[in-house]
A and B are shown apart, each in its own frame.
Chain A
């Protein structure tokens, strides 16, 4: 009992371990930054301080890019545009009124004469960034992969064109000048520190988890109730805010700029820094900026010639770019995911690797709602009828097997029940008011599933894989973590919790997929060939786990399986499908002896000969 209450207090009242871990990581990065800056502040000259100020601004911008690209997997060229918008907005808001009257003669009245301080302007700019982020993010929601990247490129071009065309407001292609220069070393470092914390923590929020899951496997993410559009929009807006903050500082750091300063060159510089460090982690963004700036600053000092260790160095301008290019090629060649692309610091996780696991065998409540009923369901693919006029209903607290020859339409039927495939005609009712054919809404309505070819999230840890699903039904991250650990323990995967899912063996990945599905607290669990590729021992293990799950939680299990021993041992009801139609529906005994079934499996002549024997 004492153990139980302790467990409760650590997992409920204090921050979830993911946030604690992320918080410590963020603090470590911020501490490293502040220490470096302090050293420069105390011992460096004014020029070095400028270098570090610029580095902190770039860090903020690159973290903004990382928050989007790192979590959604979509390479963005558009963040340079947000930096530019932030810079121009700050310029207009902070320009001294007298100068504004001469430099921007035709400025519309409502924009003129604010003369704000930097921080007041920053607040306005950030609010603006949220609005612009929401507007520009909407078109991205329908796109995926490279087409989304191209859309960000289009955004960059549109913003550049607007900045050049908006002559009354931006001075067009001419330099925008006279911005007061209030941003110094410590302002830039403070903003960068906030960006570090935001980027590191965002990964662990439900948005961050959902975005990363969808980036790893969009269908898999939808199957655990993740709406990738909201997650992507959140990452986009947050990234835009950080980039605009960087732009606000850049405006005050440069004092003079024009639209070309925030165009392709700048976008590629940001991307190059992020790719060197590693796109998928905030540590990668941090390292990328630090390494790039360090290489540039060290090499730059040898370009102008001079003496080094008693050797006369030739004047060699361009050396910086050369060394930087070679360094980038080396990084991409040796470490394709960047220096720290695949991991965060994870200081806490390293220091006490064995996190407490719930020993509770509490039976999780399942989602409310009734049975699944399928009414006159059909699905046609260009003339091929995969599912033909099927009417079925499934009750919770039962195990149903769907069998049939290859190509019979089993998976299509299961996909329609899961909301993953839109029926050509007919309806699927899942007992709640979930809309037709929306995988993530069906998942939230208590229909969990696994896939024929496993769809775990390979780059996320085993625990995160399950937390993504648990977060959909649990009230907070701490509760989701506790639930996820419980499901992992149930599946015997607790010792792998902090390993990337990609490192698991095949059978373990199958079990992880089941654990992830169960974390949704489903009413129904749809399993598409759960034993495929497993050996006899693993299959037996799976059967006992599934039987136990069904007994404990009284959920309805619907499974497609070719392993007849598994089906006959586990299922109470078997539906046989052939050529898209239901040809038998009953208990295992009834189905085994149904001549139509035997005919479908073995051909009619063998069926007659074999009548009475077990279906193999």
Chain B
């Protein structure tokens, strides 16, 4: 009996899906956007806020008639369970369901895996907040980043450090994650090109809170750095800075967007002077401030990060691309995205033209000061300065 019941459930499931996929084909002027995103698992904390922003954008656009005021969006969301193989499977399901645009998770592996399915079909695919610069090259011309890439962020921080007069840097990396391994190295490339010098390098093991060896290493450097650059985040970053300051070293430490969290802000005086990046800053009267207010009304809670606005901007980019393409043809939409130049988003101007499909866009520099995150400046690095992945 149990077997029979299982089987009928399976048939019901299959038929339910075929009904769901058949229906939109009948209606006119509907464009299906597939979202293969992590609803559960380790990636969910990144994918969820970004997806929430995208959903809000699509609701707003649909209220105005859809993409380009013409194509109502049917957003189909499927859970990747933060698993690469599962991402490929649900991407295939979304393709089968007729998706003309694909949204992929924040991580590089599943995004590449999904992109390998959409690339031969020419379906434009956008990662929700993946920032590994290699992501788009690994797939091909349908794959687009949306969030400030690691090398873009690193360029912004390096430009700022040089402008402050810093010339000697110590790079602290960990081979355990792409972001932590590569971002400081991108920084180093730009820094050296602009007259700076790398006086030392150190590595650490993630999630292992002992930095005494690295701190001894820094103390013993013949040429003392005037800056330490790292992409470490929780729980490594708090442990590092605590031990560093405990050892009496006062050299400033700069990082990137992963340390823009309430936990690190709460470290108070310990992180005074730490510079990091963000994808946007809601200055009074800015578009971002208005967005944050609108999002709070829409979702019932304030945005957790800049991933929400980034997700919203994906909706705007797609709207603009369909406007330019004048159709819902995936190839035309892809071409339109690839040629976007100085598109006015919410956080600033977004440019794909002339890039490897990782956008050039504003990077906000922030500084912790007295337990507060203070806005420093917004910079748009020059495309030529951004180091190759």
Contacts and interface: CB of A to CB of B under 8 A. Distances in A.
Contacts of A177: 112, 134, 138-139
Contact of B40 (A172, A304, A317): A317
B88 interface: yes
Nearest to A261: B84
A608 B178 CA distance: 89
Interface string B128-140: 0000101101110
B108 A304 contact: no
A301 interface: yes
A115 interface: no
B113 interface: yes
A294 B10 contact: yes
B132 A298 contact: no
B134 A175 contact: yes
A51 B86 CA distance: 8
A613 B9 CA distance: 81
B89 A51 contact: yes
A175 B109 contact: yes
A167 B175 contact: yes
B178 A173 contact: yes
B96 A256 contact: no
Nearest to A269: B83
A298 B89 contact: no
A298 B6 contact: yes
B17 interface: yes
B79 A46 contact: no
Nearest to A322: B40
A174 B132 contact: yes
Contacts of B6: 294, 298
B94 to A, nearest CB: 8
Contacts of B135: 175
Number of chain A interface residues as a range = 35 or more
Contacts of A318: 39-40, 79
B92 to A, nearest CB: 4
Contacts of A562: none
A373 to B, nearest CB: 60
Contact of B92 (A46, A172, A298, A307): A46
Interface in A547-571: none
Contact of B10 (A175, A298, A317): A298
Interface in A171-204: 172-175, 177-178, 181
Interface string B1-27: 000001001101100110010000000
B184 to A, nearest CB: 14
Given A301-B13, A317-B40, A318-B39, A45 B96 contact: yes
A181 B89 CA distance: 14
Given A45-B96, A317-B79, A50 B89 contact: yes
A173 B175 contact: yes
B176 interface: yes
Contacts of B13: 297-298, 301-302
Interface string A102-124: 11000000000000000000000
A93 B39 CA distance: 35
A426 interface: no
Contact of A298 (B9, B40, B84, B93): B9
Interface string A313-328: 0000110110000000
Interface residues of B, number: 41
A173 B132 contact: no
A256 B140 CA distance: 13
A96 B372 CA distance: 51
A255 B112 contact: yes
Nearest to A316: B39
Given A50-B92, A256-B138, A317-B39, A303 B79 contact: yes
Contacts of A47: 89-90, 92-93, 95-96
Contact of B109 (A45, A167, A256): A256
Contacts of A302: 13
A309 B12 contact: yes
Contacts of B108: 174-175, 256, 258
Contact of B176 (A164, A178, A256): A164
Given A256-B116, A301-B13, A54 B132 contact: no
A254 interface: yes
B16 A175 contact: no
A61 B121 CA distance: 31
Interface string B45-83: 000000000000000000000000000000011110100
A321 B81 contact: yes
Interface string B171-200: 000011110011000000000000000000
A320 B16 CA distance: 17
A369 interface: no
A15 B151 CA distance: 65
Which of A256, A258, A309 has the most B CB atoms < 10 Å from its CB?
A: A256
Contacts of A258: 108-109, 178
Given A50-B89, A173-B176, A175-B132, A254 B20 contact: no
A164 B181 CA distance: 11
Contacts of A298: 6, 9-10, 13
A50 B84 CA distance: 13
A288 to B, nearest CB: 16
Nearest to B177: A173
Given A178-B138, A257-B109, A306-B20, A173 B85 contact: no
Given A302-B13, A304-B77, A318-B40, A253 B85 contact: yes
A400 to B, nearest CB: 60
A297 B177 CA distance: 31
Contact of A46 (B10, B96, B138): B96
A308 interface: yes
A579 to B, nearest CB: 58
A502 interface: no
A304 B175 contact: no
Contact of B112 (A167, A253, A256): A256
Interface of A: 45-47, 50-51, 54, 102-103, 164-165, 167, 172-175, 177-178, 181, 250, 253-258, 260-261, 294, 297-298, 300-304, 306-309, 317-318, 320-321
Q: Which 8 A-B pairs have the closest CB atoms?
A: A317-B39, A256-B112, A47-B93, A177-B138, A47-B92, A301-B13, A255-B116, A318-B40
Given A173-B178, A254-B88, A303-B79, 19 more contacts: A46-B96, A47-B89, A50-B92, A51-B89, A175-B108, A175-B109, A175-B138, A178-B138, A255-B88, A256-B84, A256-B109, A256-B113, A256-B138, A258-B109, A261-B84, A301-B13, A301-B17, A308-B16, A320-B81
17 contacts: A47-B93, A47-B96, A50-B88, A173-B176, A174-B108, A174-B181, A175-B109, A175-B112, A177-B139, A178-B138, A255-B88, A256-B112, A256-B138, A257-B84, A258-B109, A261-B84, A321-B40
Interface of B: 6, 9-10, 12-13, 16-17, 20, 39-40, 76-79, 81, 84-85, 88-90, 92-93, 95-96, 108-109, 112-113, 116, 132, 134-135, 137-139, 175-178, 181-182
